[in-house]
């Protein structure tokens, strides 16, 4: 967790130890994870346009495969317009980042819109740094966005996932078993209905 960040933390990653990880380092704080010899706490917080440089580095540091699975294309470094979107610049975008030691290790964003039946929907995209995958960060990022979407009155969450992205599909159906998975030509479309929730002020 980074107390210097200008935005409040919105969630913490569960303290579950990575399945194949070495024993936790003595003195590791609750909620921290030991990844490749590191033992750092991971926090989920809101992203902001001030994060654009750090987000550029984060996305540039992803493997080609992770970038492809996230963007469905061979994006190398996001351009300024995309970075502004990823940083939650536009008012219809809610973006969160997972940080460890002040470094962004995961990112997710939800873009709000209106569905064909007038329902309030949001489209979520997520990616976790390769070395940090499989430790609960993706689930924590999506959970934070779903909670926030529900609080602002969204009733339908949508995620588009490439057909052979079994990891993402397994994560979603495993943690949100109520989802409905549809098939478009190039990707699966995951729908999750949210109960109407009293909106926060």
State the residues that interact with ligand COA by CB under 6 A: 66, 69-70, 125-128, 133-139, 161, 165-168, 170-171, 174
Q: Which is nearer to ligand COA, 50 or 63 (CB)?
A: 63
In the complex, least distance from residue 91 CB atom to ligand COA, rounded to whole angstroms? 22
Work out the widest C-alpha separation in the chain, in whole angstroms. 54
Q: Which is nearer to ligand COA, 20 or 26 (CB)?
A: 20
Q: Which is nearer to ligand COA, 2 or 130 (CB)?
A: 130
In the complex, least distance from residue 96 CB atom to ligand COA, rounded to whole angstroms? 12
Residue whose C-alpha is closest to residue 144's, from 107, 174, 179: 107
Strands (E) located in the chain:
9-12, 32-35, 38-46, 93-100, 103-114, 120-128, 156-162, 180-183, 187-193
Q: Which residues pair with 161 in a beta bridge?
A: 188
In the complex, least distance from residue 18 CB atom to ligand COA, rounded to whole angstroms? 9
User: What sign for the dihedral angle of Cα 169, 174, 60, 94?
Assistant: positive
Q: Which is nearer to ligand COA, 12 or 66 (CB)?
A: 66
In the complex, least distance from residue 126 CB atom to ligand COA, rounded to whole angstroms? 5
In the complex, least distance from residue 185 CB atom to ligand COA, rounded to whole angstroms? 17
Distance separating alpha carbons of residues 134 and 183, to the nearest angstrom: 25
The two tokens of residue 122 are 């949001």
Of all residues in the shown chain, the one whose CB is closest to ligand COA is 170
Q: Which is nearer to ligand COA, 31 or 153 (CB)?
A: 31
């Amino acid at each position: 967790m980074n107390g210097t960040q200008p935005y409040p933390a919105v969630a913490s990653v569960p303290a579950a130890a990575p399945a194949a990880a070495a024993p936790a380092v003595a003195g590791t704080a609750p909620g921290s994870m030991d990844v490749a010899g590191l033992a750092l706490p991971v926090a989920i917080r809101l992203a902001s346009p001030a994060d654009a440089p750090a987000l550029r580095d984060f996305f540039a540091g992803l493997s080609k495969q992770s970038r492809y699975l996230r963007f469905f294309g061979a994006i190398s470094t996001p351009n300024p317009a995309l970075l502004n979107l990823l940083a939650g610049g536009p008012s219809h975008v809610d973006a969160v980042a997972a940080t460890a030691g002040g470094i962004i290790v995961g990112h997710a964003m939800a873009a709000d819109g209106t569905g064909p039946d007038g329902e309030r929907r949001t489209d979520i995209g997520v990616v976790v740094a390769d070395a940090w995958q499989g430790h609960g960060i993706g689930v924590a990022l999506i959970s934070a966005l779903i909670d926030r979407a529900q609080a602002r009155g969204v009733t339908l969450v949508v995620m588009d996932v490439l057909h052979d992205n079994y990891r993402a599909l397994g994560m979603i159906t495993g943690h949100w078993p109520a989802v409905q998975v549809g098939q478009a030509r190039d990707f699966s479309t995951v729908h999750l209905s949210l109960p109407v929730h009293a909106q926060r002020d």
